[in-house]
Chains A and B, each alone.
Chain A
Amino acid sequence: MTFKHITEEKLSLPTEFPALPSMGGYVLFAGIVRDINDGKQVTHLEYEAYSEMANQMIANIIADAFQKWELQYADCIHRLGKLNLGEVAVIVSTGSIHRDEAYKANRYIIDRVKHEVPIWKKEFYINGSSEWSKGCVDELHEH
């Protein structure tokens, strides 16, 4: 199954901006698989989601961002399945007339996606062990 905001396909960075003449600022965030977490050497990750629900929740978060800021453009796509180091896990892109709103909306979307959307990460370590990420139970959501 493929959804607009959830995919098992490899993510590529966009090579062109959305063709919107009023858009003067465009912000792109990419979440990338890194090789270390909590001091443990990571070899790869697996992402799992409650896909139908995750897709709808991301769509709702984007709609909320459009309500909060005067955006020209906003999108988010999250990858599932096995991801190797350096691969892109999530892309959030936002555009607005001026840069400020694009920056703020981008941060808002990735923070909410990270903390609210039912997507989970399993980390695989160099010693052969693996562990589900504990996720965020911190109300401040500042990490």
Chain B
Amino acid sequence: MKIQLLSFAALKDFFPPKQELSLDGIHTVFDLKNYLQNKNPDASNLIKVSRISINQIIAKDSDTITEGSIVAVLPPSSGG
């Protein structure tokens, strides 16, 4: 499965802002979080408190990621 992964703010210290990923055995948001934490353990704490959006909609850990999705990792917001 191919997806586009976007990373923002502090996440960009660990992952490129935008990357194409080919993923095997990853079906859910939970799976993706585990994959990213394994890929870069230093980012684990930040990933744990981040939200994930799929095609610009906030997703739950149990939500399914489908082929061609634009998935974004969103650290805690700090606007205002």
Contacts and interface: CB of A to CB of B under 8 A. Distances in A.
B5 to A, nearest CB: 13
Size category of the binding interface on chain B? 10 to 19
B8 A48 contact: yes
A46 B57 CA distance: 25
Contact of B79 (A52, A53, A56, A90): A90
Nearest to B48: A137
Nearest to A49: B79
Interface in A100-143: 110, 113-122, 132-137
Q: Which of B49, B56, B78 has the most CB of A within 10 A?
A: B78
Contacts of B8: 48, 50, 118, 120
Contacts of B78: 114, 119-121, 132-136
Interface stretch (B19-27, B29-37, B60-68, B69-77): B69-77
A13 to B, nearest CB: 16
Interface of A: 31, 47-50, 52-54, 56, 78, 89-90, 110, 113-122, 132-137
Interface of B: 6, 8-10, 49, 53, 56, 72, 74-80
